[in-house]
Structure 1
Amino acid sequence: MPITAWTILVAAITALVTTTATGLIVTPRMEARKKRLGEVHSARDAFSTHMTTVVSACTRLLNMPALADDDAAWTPTMRERLGAERARWLQQIDDATRWMIDNVATYAGSWPMRGLIEFATAYAANARMVVLSEREEIAKLRHLVDLTLPVQRQFFGWPWARARHHFADRRAFAATLALLEREATGS
């Protein structure tokens, strides 16, 4: 009987020590890790959402060019409303690119490979610079679409599309960057 009691006591103490150690050491670390991973995934989701906002707003603006002041087909009220809508879409692009450049360290640093980090960082910086540039509106919109689509596919496209278009997307992005550089230097 004393051996059975001793075995039960040792088992109870072991369970108590294990539970206490897990509760004090392991659980807080796991909760902190869970929170960090949740923040990383939230930042990645926001990055995806902002890229989608840029592409969709640019597409809307490209499909609805600014109205001429002398166009008799539009009343002043409609011209004002459409102008306000275009201004709202331009503001969406401004807000999205501002968020991407302000939070680039959060989402870009979450990818494991240096090439992906640099790709996301280069995209955010160049997209923001296009928005801030003095280019004509239509040129800005086309450049933003050309910058965003390959990046969006590489980060958020279907896995087979990422692999299939990896080199083409990188070349398209590099070509757009080269074009932006040529325009900036005037050559």
Structure 2
Amino acid sequence: MPNTLWTISVAAVTAVVTAIATGLFVTPRLDARKKRIGEAHAARDTFNAHLGTVLSACTRLRALPADDPAWTPVLRERLRGERERWLQQVDDATRWMVDHVETYAGGWALRRHIELAVGYAGCARMLMLSERQECTKLELLAMLTLPVQRQFFGFWWSRLRYYGDDRRTFDETRARLLGEPTGP
């Protein structure tokens, strides 16, 4: 009987010490890690949302004619307001992407993904700040955004299938941005 009591006592003390040590040393590190991983994924989701905003706003702006003689002054004014709102959405999205690039770009395992995200954020923001004509900005921004969105958030088979084309399109558009004059 004393042998069994001793075994139960040692097991109970071991369990208590293990639970206390785990609670003091392991659990806080796991909670901090969980929080960091959650924040990184939330930032990536926001990055994806902003890419979608840029693409959809560019598409809407390019599809809407600048002016139509058949429009009434009221309609013309309303559409001008919509254009300004959509351009503001693009401006806000590119501003967020360049301001928060370290939160969503640094966590990718591949160096090429980090470079693509950082390069895109910088190019997209500089394009929005440039003095190019609006139609040129929208065209170049859509050409920059589509390959980036597909490489980061597309299905795995489209990432593999279009990697070379996406990289070439991105590099060519970036070279066009750097080589083109920025004046009106």
TM-score range relative to shorter protein: over 0.9
Map 1:44-123; keep pairs closer than 5 Å.
Answer: 44-67=44-67, 71=69, 73-123=70-120
Distance 1:25 1:144 in 2: 48
Q: What per-residue deviation string (whole Å, max 9, x for no partner) do you get for residues 1-23 of structure 1?
A: 11111000000000000111111
Partner of 1:13 in structure 2?
13
> Gaps spanning 5+ residues in structure 2: where?
none
Partner of 1:145 in structure 2?
142
**Contact 2:131 2:182 (C-alpha < 8 Å) held by counterparts:** no
TM-score (norm. length: structure 1): 0.95
Distance 2:175 2:31 in 1: 45
* Higher mean C-alpha displacement, 59-68 vs 15-24: 59-68
**Contact 2:132 2:182 (C-alpha < 8 Å) held by counterparts:** no
**Contact 2:130 2:182 (C-alpha < 8 Å) held by counterparts:** no
Map 1:158-173; keep pairs closer than 5 Å.
Answer: 158-173=155-170
Distance 1:185 1:46 in 2: 29
Distance 1:111 1:34 in 2: 16
* Cα drift, residue 184 of structure 1: 3.0
Identical columns (%): 62
Q: What per-residue deviation string (whole Å, max 9, x for no partner) do you get for residues 59-113 of structure 1?
A: 0000002215xx2x11111111010001000000000000000000110001012
Local SS of the residue matching 1:111: coil
Partner of 1:135 in structure 2?
132
* Cα drift, residue 165 of structure 1: 0.8
Partner of 2:42 in structure 1?
42
- How much is the aligned-residue C-alpha RMSD, in angstroms? 1.2
Give the counterpart letter for 2:180 in structure 1: E
Tell me the number of residue pairs that the alignment of Structure 1 and Structure 2 aligns: 183
Give the counterpart letter for 2:171 in structure 1: A
Partner of 1:4 in structure 2?
4
> Gaps spanning 5+ residues in structure 1: where?
none
Distance 1:184 1:102 in 2: 25
Distance 1:139 1:58 in 2: 11
Distance 1:30 1:65 in 2: 54
Q: What per-residue deviation string (whole Å, max 9, x for no partner) do you get for residues 35-82 of structure 1?
A: 0000000000000000000000000000002215xx2x1111111101
Distance 1:66 1:92 in 2: 18
TM-score (norm. length: structure 2): 0.97
